[in-house]
Amino acid sequence: MGTDHSFAAVMARKSDIMKTSVGIDYARYATGRIGFDYERMMAEVPYDLEAVRRIQAETCVGSTPLVECRNITRLIRKLAPAGKGARLFIKDEAANPSGSFKDRRAALSVYHAVRMGYPGIAAATSGNYGAGVACQAAKRGLRCIIVQEVFDSTGLQQPEITEKSRACEAAGAEVLRLSVGPELFYQFLRVLEETGFFNASLYTPYSIAGIETLGWEIGRHFLDTEGRAPDAVVVSHAGGGNITGTARGLQKAGCGTTQVIAASVDLRGLHMASDHDFNRKSFTTAHTGFGVPFSTFPDRSDVPRNAARPLRYMDRYVTVTQGEVFFATEMLAQLEGLERGPAGNTSLAAAFVLAQEMDRDQVIVVQETEYTGAGKHPWSQLGLAKCMGIEVRAGDPRDNEPGRRIVIPEHPAQMRVCDIALDDLRRSYLKNVRASSDPAELTSEDYRFLATDIRATEEFVRTELSRLARKEEAHESAAT
C-alpha cells in the first residue's frame, strides 16, 4: 500500500520527517514539561566559532566591510541636541556571494548536509535565504530545492520574491512556487520526505551558529581598532535568528555590554498568511508580522525547538514605518553612495533616530545590509502598492497606515521610532504558554527555563501565569 500523502497524514508525520531531515533528536534536550536545555543544544553543534569562520571563508562568506557613514553621521548631528549624535557604522553584508547575511547561515547548513551525506538540501523561504542556500549548494556541488510563497490567488506576484526566485534558479536550484497559505509547510514536508534532503531550516542550531560570526566580527573590529565595544547594534528583526546569532557572536567577542536593539517595520493590521494582505505589504521580512509572533511564540517554527530565541537577547525593540524605510534607502544611496535593499535599511531607519539620543563619543552599528535589484528596489515595491490601491505620498510618517497608506517623510527630522514594551511581549509569550499548559503541571525546571527564555525573574513568570489563570477562571464564571 502506498504512502498516504493527504494533508492530515503528512502533518501527522511531521515530527518524524523533521527528525530525519535535520538529524537532531530534540527530545534529548527536554528538561521539564515544556522546558529544554537551550545552551546544551547550541553547544552540541559540532563546529566552534573558529571552525564556522573557516567553513564560511571556503566559499567567500563573511569578513565583510564595516563602513563608517560619515555623511549620515553629520546629518544626525545637525538634528540631534547639543552633545548628541553617535557615529554610525554599517556592516555591509551585501558583499557576501548572494548579497545578504543569509549566506552565513546557509554556508554552515550546506557544509553540514554534505558532511552528513545528505543527497541534497531544501529550504522553505520567500526571501534572501533561498538565494543563499542555492548559492552555497552550487559551491559545494549539492542539489537544492527551494519552496516559496510567491503570489496571491489572482496570480499577482510579489516583485521582491519573484526576484529571489530568479536568483535561486540562476544558482541551479529547483524552485517550487506556491500561493500564500497553509500549503507551504505541507509541500515542504513532502519534499523532505520524498527526497531525503537536509532541511536547511532558518531555525536550527546550525543556522544560528552561522550568524554568530557576524556579531563576532562587529565586536572584534571595535575592540581591535578602538579598544572598546560598540555601544549599540541595531538588528533587523523577523524570525529571531538574526538577533539571536548576532547577540551570541557579540558575547563571544567579549562585547557583553553592547546594547542589542531589534527593529521591525510596523505592519500591524496585516495578516502574513492572508491572501488579501499578501501583496499589501511592501516588505517580505523584518516586519512586525514575523517579529512579534516569533518573539512571543518562537516554537511556531518548522522544527520542534527553535534555536532563535529573540527575547533572550534583545535589550530594546523599536518599530519604524514603511515610508521611513524607503526614506532611509534613498538617504543611504544619496549620502553614502550605497544602494542597498530594504531589510537592512529597516535597522538603518531606526539607528538614524537612535543615534540622535546617544552621545557624540558613542558608536551605533547597523548590523547588516542586503543587495538591491529590480524586484527589491523601492520603486518596484511602491509601484505594486499603487497597483493594490494603496496611497503613496510624502508627509508626516505618523500618518502611515499599513495596507492603506505609505507616507514618506518630507524631512529627516520627521523620522522617529516607536518602542514595543518588552514586558508586553513577555506577557504574550506566557499567555501562549498558558494556552497549551496547565501551570500546576509545570516543574521547577520549566519555570527556570521560562524565566531565562524571556529574560525575566521566576517571580515574574509565576505571577503572570497565576494572573492569567485567575482571569481565565473569572471569564468562565461570568460565562456560566
Condensed to tens digits (0 to 9), the pLDDT of residues 110-125 reads 999 999 999 999 999 8
Given a cut of 60, is residue 1 above it in pLDDT?
A: no
* Mean pLDDT, range 283-300, rounded to an integer: 91
Q: What is the 3-state secondary structure (H, E, C) of the chain?
A: CCCCCCHHHHHHCHHHHHHHHHCCCHHHHECCCCCECHHHHHHCCCCCHHHHHHHHHHCCCCCCCEEECHHHHHHHHHHCCCCECCEEEEECHHHCCCCCCHHHHHHHHHHHHHHCCCCEEEEECCCHHHHHHHHHHHHHCCEEEEEEEEECCCCCECHHHHHHHHHHHHCCCEEEEEECCCHHHHHHHHHHHHHCCEECCCCCHHHHHHHHHHHHHHHHHHHHHHCCCCCEEEEECCCCHHHHHHHHHHHHHCCCCCEEEEEEECCCCCCCCCCCCHHHCCCCCCEHHHHHHHHHCHHHCCCCCCCCCHHHCCCEEEEECHHHHHHHHHHHHHHHCCCCCHHHHHHHHHHHHHHHHCECCCEEEECCCCCCCCCCCHHHHHHHHHHCCCEEEEECHHHCECCCEEEEECCHHHCCCEECCHHHHHHHHHHHHHHHCCHHHCCHHHHHHHHHHCCCCHHHHHHHHHHHHHHHHHHHHHHC
Predicted local distance difference test score (pLDDT) of residue 126? 79
Cβ neighbours for 359, distance < 8 A, ≥ 6 positions apart:
83, 84, 86
Q: How confident is the model at residue 480 (pLDDT cuts 50, 70, 90)?
A: low
Predicted local distance difference test score (pLDDT) of residue 413? 98
Q: How many CB atoms lie within 10 A of CB 242?
A: 30
b/e burial code for range 183-192 (CB count within 10 A of at least 16 → b): ebbbebbbbb
* Mean pLDDT, range 306-320, rounded to an integer: 98
Given a cut of 70, is residue 339 above it in pLDDT?
A: yes
Predicted local distance difference test score (pLDDT) of residue 270? 83
Given a cut of 80, is residue 474 above it in pLDDT?
A: no
Predicted local distance difference test score (pLDDT) of residue 84? 98
The rounded mean pLDDT for the chain is 93
42-96 pLDDT, tens digit each: 999 999 999 999 999 999 999 999 999 999 999 999 999 999 999 999 999 999 9
Predicted local distance difference test score (pLDDT) of residue 275? 82
Given a cut of 80, is residue 2 above it in pLDDT?
A: no
Predicted local distance difference test score (pLDDT) of residue 350? 98
Rg, C-alpha atoms of the chain:
22
403-455 pLDDT, tens digit each: 999 999 999 999 999 999 999 999 999 999 988 877 778 999 999 999 999 99
Predicted local distance difference test score (pLDDT) of residue 438? 75
* Mean pLDDT, range 305-315, rounded to an integer: 97
Looking at per-residue confidence, does 13 or 475 come out higher? 13
* Mean pLDDT, range 358-380, rounded to an integer: 93
Looking from the CA of 387 toward its CB, the CA atoms found within 13 Å total 13
Q: What percent of the chain has pLDDT over 90?
A: 76
352-363 pLDDT, tens digit each: 999 999 999 999
